[in-house]
Structure 1
Amino acid sequence: MGLRWLWRHRVSGLLLVLALLLLLTLLATHSLQTNRTHELRPTADRRNERKAAEKHSSPLTPNTHQPPKHKPTARAEGRRAHPPVVFLKTHRTGSSTVQNILFRFGERESATFAFPSRTYQFNYPDRFKVAFVDELPEGSSQFDLLCSHMRLDLREVRKVMPQNAVFITLLRDPVKTFESLFGYYTSIVPAFVSAYRAAANKGKSALAVFLDSPETFWDPKEPWNGLAKNPMSFDMGLNNQKWNGSWPEHLAQLEEAFHLVMIAEHFDESLVLLGALLGLEHEDLAYLRLNARAGNSVTELDKNMQAKMRSWNVLDTLLYDFFVQVFWEKANQFGLNKLKAEVTRFRASMESTRQKCVSRAEVSPGELEDLLRPWQTETTTIVGYEVRGNLSLQDQGYCIRMMLPELQYHSHLYFKQYGRDMRAAPAD
């Protein structure tokens, strides 16, 4: 009884509306949502305490975790007062674009990156562990930025990063995310590979064949199949296979841990809030959309396919809807009119930057030099940018960095930090 009873009745109207909206696309899971969604929010007292705390303290207020035992260096003391950042890089949400912003920011500030000890990911799809992180480089007192791919484990991440680290991530509409992920990883994720083979003689797209009977292709015991069902929940360390009793508690813990969960459908608004959180200017937040597919690599989805996709990824739907609500709560705290005005100014600044930097957009990989050519999969085409000529050396460096694909920039920063190339992944 008590607070939990009061909270359930307080949100009963909201839950009814959500249930009706989800009914059209989630018939198979209707009873699950109507019975469980009331547990997704923290208690009323807990939310009120958070709001009160946000009025009187910074998101950088130290938590109870012990900081790394290193003495500060002159290099660290000479930096601008920006907080350490943990960016959970989710798959096919626009996260490569955000990572590039953080890479540029970190390089300019001589930040120390927490890099994977091998290749570009923290032993994905395993849950993050301290052992996956390369050593702290000589002369650094702490890690300042962690923004490589991982499957989240909050307790392990907090052992690596300073106690005042700001946690951010990015979510995207589950239908758009899954369509993009399927196209990008058709030849990599085992469930998608099986569907691709099955579609060979059926006259249907591999995605349509998969959505007709996803259980046929999906083996939850295969680690890389984590991306084949509720991939955003998987990246965030949640149980992505099915609802269980710990899901609401873990979701509440994520809300407590993350200072900002950006929403891809409100990307510019998200960046303005990120800038306010980290003390960044419009120039710092300038971006070009990276790791984007060519138009002919995108599968058109009819309403039936979208409904099947939401049903298969019902936990991602709940996750996304939950954090969209949290996002607009933070936007309201910032001030909606202020946010709208800031977004207008930011977009004007962005247009000027693009005009200065970009000669051609959506350039096919065959026309790009190695430095600016994104990594390609067997089943999709990733396009890039061509930089304008006749730029000053300073502008050329700025523009090229904005266009650098993830792997090239990651390798550059790793070598700059450690003076050596990244180690290869161990052979199976």
Structure 2
Amino acid sequence: MKPRTGLLCDRRNKRGLRKTFGMILLAMGCFTLYVIKGNSTSDDVEKTVSNRANSRSNTSQASTQFLLTRSSIRIPCKPVRNFVFLKTMKTGGSTVASILHRHAIKNDLVLVTAQDSRPSILPDKSLSKPALKYLRYNCSDFPGYNYIANHVHYNRQAMDSVIPDAKYFTILRSPYDQRRSQFYYTSKDTEYSNNRNPFETYLNELKADYVRDGQLIRVMRNGTSQFHTLGFLPKYHTNDTAVALKLIELERELDLVMMMEYFDESIVLLAKLLCWDLEEFVYTFCKLHSARPAPITSLVRKRIDTLNPGDVKLYAHFNRTFWEMVDAYDGDFEADLRAFRRIQRNVVHDCEDAKWKDFNCINLKYDAHQLRGRLYNKQLQWICPRNLRHQQIPLSNRTQCKYLLH
């Protein structure tokens, strides 16, 4: 059988042609690159190679950084600027408000201010009208309000219209301790000082007055009732169905309910909610009374259970959900609590060493009322001069502006 030499030669010739054609294309590519690069040197090539190596290295580092971020406990967040603090009566609300006002002064947040220098922003007495009475600035470049931290009755529709996309939170206190605190704050202890148990006597008479002329309703409406501050009318406090529905609504709408009895724990939760540094929350308690408190006896508890059943149920409900939030905390709650208490302890110790004369220590000593005044002054220096020129705010408020500007 004859070898198939012709076919082999044809294949070899075709392979040779392919190699030749490939060499021609390669030469043309090199020539084109030479023309484009012009006077490129070997140093440029080395730089290019080095840059590519650095790029790969940076990419590798970036990937590692991303993985570290993904695997870390703390996820970066954006500090909250819009929020509503529902300031309840005699619950530690002034201490919380002081923290918020100091942060606002430092970070140029705008507080919703009441009309005519009043400390409270109130809707109508029935809580039915979705409108708040507050000072309005009408200048075209007004940036808008950032927060509420006054005594105010909760009305979500009205508040959302003033501060959209806000975080909502409040603070509660055991209704027994809260009512006792109110007793001393209003100097009722002096009025009942001749009684063996002044607080218990006061509660007994309050119950009798409620039967006669509805004094309990007036006391609640003036802010003693925490539930009323949260938008629940006192006349429904004995209606179990209405109470249960309101509790469900508040749990759904409020981002955090703090507890006075667990103040530091509440601060850690608030810091997480607002994404602020723990250092922002250092505090000194405001409006503490020095008198030795009257005992809360079993009779006192029964009396308050009868007088204010809504607040008793309110506190019990959110005392339970509070610890559920602690259990669901994103991170190491106990470690953050220890860290905050360490910061708190160190700052107070340093201020005591400085005899509270350092600027930051003096600022820490200011209560909510003083800080609110400073904040008003800062806002009005910024907002009022333009409004005063164009006479865009009422005379009473212009007078307020002039007073605070001097």
Aligned residue in 2 for 1:292? 288
| Identity over aligned pairs, percent | 21
Q: Distance in 2 between matches of 1:400 and 1:89?
A: 24
TM-score by length of 1: 0.64
Query: Contact 2:101 / 2:368 at 8 angstroms: preserved in 1?
Result: no
1:178 aligns with 2:148: no
1:266 aligns with 2:262: yes
Q: Which moved more, 1:407-416 or 1:129-138?
A: 129-138
Q: Which amino acid aligns with 1:327?
A: F
1:90 aligns with 2:88: yes
Aligned residue in 2 for 1:411? 373
- Matched pairs, number: 303
Partner SS, residue 295 of structure 1? coil
Alignment map for 1:60-71 (pairs within 5 Å): none
1:339 aligns with 2:307: no
Aligned residue in 1 for 2:310? 315
Aligned residue in 1 for 2:65? none
* Aligned CA distance change for structure 1 residues 303 and 315 (closer, same or farther; 3 Å): same
Aligned residue in 2 for 1:22? none
Q: Distance in 2 between matches of 1:256 and 1:110?
A: 30
Q: Distance in 1 between matches of 2:205 and 2:255?
A: 38
How big is the shift at 1:246? 3.0
Q: Which amino acid aligns with 1:407?
A: H
Aligned residue in 2 for 1:145? 147
* Aligned CA distance change for structure 1 residues 229 and 104 (closer, same or farther; 3 Å): closer
CA-to-aligned-CA distance 1:294-340 (integer Å, 9 cap, x gap): 134x32333322332233222111000101111111111116x8111
CA-to-aligned-CA distance 1:41-69 (integer Å, 9 cap, x gap): xxxxxxxxxxxxxxxxx9x9xxxxxxxxx
Query: Contact 1:87 / 1:169 at 8 angstroms: preserved in 2?
Result: yes
Aligned residue in 2 for 1:39? none
* Aligned CA distance change for structure 1 residues 404 and 229 (closer, same or farther; 3 Å): closer
Alignment map for 1:345-384 (pairs within 5 Å): 345-358=339-352
Aligned residue in 2 for 1:248? 244
Where relative contact order (Cα < 8 A, 6+ residues apart) is larger, the structure is: 2
How big is the shift at 1:205? 4.4
Q: Distance in 2 between matches of 1:235 and 1:116?
A: 16
How big is the shift at 1:257? 1.1
Q: Which amino acid aligns with 1:114?
A: V
Q: Distance in 2 between matches of 1:279 and 1:409?
A: 22
* Aligned CA distance change for structure 1 residues 287 and 125 (closer, same or farther; 3 Å): farther
Aligned residue in 1 for 2:206? 214
Among candidates 137, 160, 163, match of residue 161 of structure 1: 163
Q: Which moved more, 1:299-308 or 1:220-229?
A: 220-229
CA-to-aligned-CA distance 1:17-43 (integer Å, 9 cap, x gap): xxxxxxxxxxxxxxxxxxxxxxxxxxx
Q: Distance in 1 between matches of 2:217 and 2:121?
A: 14
Aligned residue in 2 for 1:100? 98
* Aligned CA distance change for structure 1 residues 124 and 240 (closer, same or farther; 3 Å): same
Query: Contact 2:146 / 2:163 at 8 angstroms: preserved in 1?
Result: yes
Q: Distance in 2 between matches of 1:81 and 1:348?
A: 22
Query: Contact 1:220 / 1:226 at 8 angstroms: preserved in 2?
Result: no
Q: Distance in 2 between matches of 1:302 and 1:222?
A: 21
Q: Distance in 1 between matches of 2:172 and 2:374?
A: 27
Aligned residue in 1 for 2:226? 232
Aligned residue in 2 for 1:120? 119
Q: Distance in 1 between matches of 2:288 and 2:281?
A: 18
Q: Distance in 1 between matches of 2:258 and 2:324?
A: 12
CA-to-aligned-CA distance 1:93-151 (integer Å, 9 cap, x gap): 11111001100111111011111123211148944863411114744332111101112
Aligned residue in 2 for 1:388? 356
Q: Which runs of 5+ in 2 are unaligned?
A: 1-74, 385-395, 401-406
Q: Distance in 2 between matches of 1:124 and 1:178?
A: 24
Q: Distance in 1 between matches of 2:104 and 2:295?
A: 38
Q: Which amino acid aligns with 1:105?
A: H
Aligned CA RMSD, in angstroms, stands at 3.0
Q: Which moved more, 1:286-295 or 1:234-243?
A: 234-243
Q: Distance in 2 between matches of 1:141 and 1:224?
A: 38
Q: Distance in 1 between matches of 2:97 and 2:258?
A: 13
CA-to-aligned-CA distance 1:226-255 (integer Å, 9 cap, x gap): 168961111111122432343322221111
Aligned residue in 1 for 2:322? 327
Q: Distance in 2 between matches of 1:137 and 1:350?
A: 41
CA-to-aligned-CA distance 1:355-401 (integer Å, 9 cap, x gap): 12236xxxxxxxxxxxxxxxxxxxxxxxxxx9523x3xxxx1x2222
Aligned residue in 2 for 1:63? none
